[in-house]
Amino acid sequence: MEVLLPAWFGGLVGTIIAVAIYTPAMRAVERRLHQKRGPTPLGKRAAYEEKLSVVRRLVLGAFIAIMATLGYWIGGVIGGMRG
């Protein structure tokens, strides 16, 4: 299987788009979660922030995996790769 430069470029563009989508989406979700939660004690807030940090990383990883794969595929199609 021949790997073309447009496919790799598409993967890079997909990754950039994933990060661009992730940032405002996570800010909006976090804002809503903080509004629903209301004021919390310091100990509980630290545990909540730690769990939220793990969720952020998982969501970012999923966004990058999906968008980079999609970008790679689109780049390959545009560049003439078959499959």
Cβ 15 vs Cβ 74: under 8 Å:
no
Identify the band that residue 76 occupies on the pLDDT scale cut at 50, 70 and 90: confident
State both tokens at 28. 């909006």
In a 10 Å sphere around its CB, with 0-12 CB exposed, 13-18 middle and 19+ buried, how is residue 7 labelled? buried
Calculate the alpha carbon distances from 68 to 18, 40, 45, 57 in Å: 8, 38, 34, 16
Name the residue with higher pLDDT: 82 or 39.
39
Q: What 3 state SS string does 37-53 have?
A: HCCCCHHHHHHHHHHHH
What residue has token string 């661009």? 20
Query: Which domain does 53 fall in, by range?
Result: 5-79
How many domains in the chain?
Answer: 1
Tens of pLDDT, residues 1-45: 566 788 889 999 999 999 999 999 899 888 888 888 878 788 888
